[in-house]
Structure 1
């Protein structure tokens, strides 16, 4: 289940590193790669979002909807920190304060910094091409979209079939628990 405040803070972190403005394509790829790295290291998604293959590579589905303005943001969520997309770019609305990123743990910011160090210097097209060539879970959806299951992702990250299934089942259980708490 998407944690909008957390994914917003993940995006704000990368936008801040880039001087406050970035192509939405590059930002999405950085967010995807950060979530993927968190899954590789800890077996947990930072964003809680669903992953899908799209023509320009893998994306975080609900986060893309937030970027595109296709869904309404929650109070204190996306629209509180990030401007509407203009000329295929997103920008921070205000300067980040020290306590702004309160949803991110030290482990989260370490993952974000690692991804920034590896990919922050790439153009939007270079990082898109990287995800096409180095993320085997991505499959060309031929103009549509195709879900990327966590089991498939864990296998692409080198986990055995049994371990990938166990980790994917755990994420499914966590999503179910999150949904139950969301109804309270």
Structure 2
């Protein structure tokens, strides 16, 4: 079960691409999106996109978002293909940069707290190159990532909360809340 919101994932990616001047390497965008989700879990105990977290050879990624970046998923109206162009080689770009005057004015699926987390991650890591970011997510900075030895493995949210320093009872409460949100979301889909 997932609470994945394609529109929010697309707009989070569009926000970062906007701040980058319109395009980014795929690897860098994926790492910035993961770190933004991690920041949201740390600050608010909640996910921006509701995506599942996965350990892959180049570090942690957002599962469904990764599929959209690779053109593997069918986009809904107002979703990924509205905001993000098909990737070219190892780059991804905004489909139409003129759609975004400012993220606050035009990326309306994102809440103020979502934009705050994205802005914090952009401020901290936007100037890093893709390889430095990849290496960072392999380091002790993201201890929830485990080398999948060429495959992929799920990263349970509880492992991320624990890595972020939450006490065991907080980890349990936050994980339970995310699970309840997923059940509610599933009942409406």
TM-score range, shorter chain: over 0.9
How far does residue 100 in structure 1 lie from its aligned partner after superposition?
2.3
Unaligned runs of 5+ in 2: none
Classify the secondary structure of the residue corresponding to 1:52: strand
How far does residue 68 in structure 1 lie from its aligned partner after superposition?
0.3
How far does residue 174 in structure 1 lie from its aligned partner after superposition?
0.2
Within-5 A mapping of 1:41-56: 41-56=43-58
Q: CA RMSD in A?
A: 0.9
How far does residue 60 in structure 1 lie from its aligned partner after superposition?
0.3
Aligned counterparts of 1:156 and 1:107: Cα–Cα separation in 2: 21
Corresponding residue of 1:72: 74
Corresponding residue of 1:177: 184
How far does residue 18 in structure 1 lie from its aligned partner after superposition?
0.7
Corresponding residue of 2:24: 22
Aligned counterparts of 1:85 and 1:153: Cα–Cα separation in 2: 29
- After superposition, the C-alpha distances for 1:87-146 in whole angstroms (9 at most, x for unaligned) are 111100112144420011111111111100000000000001111111000000000001
Corresponding residue of 2:155: 148
Corresponding residue of 1:7: 9
Q: Indicate which of 88, 91, 98 corresponds to 2:90.
A: 88
Aligned counterparts of 2:73 and 2:13: Cα–Cα separation in 1: 17
How far does residue 162 in structure 1 lie from its aligned partner after superposition?
2.1
Aligned counterparts of 2:132 and 2:110: Cα–Cα separation in 1: 27
Give the TM-score, by structure 1 length. Answer: 0.96
Number of residue pairs aligned between Structure 1 and Structure 2? 182
Corresponding residue of 2:109: 103
Moved beyond 4 Å, runs of 4+: none
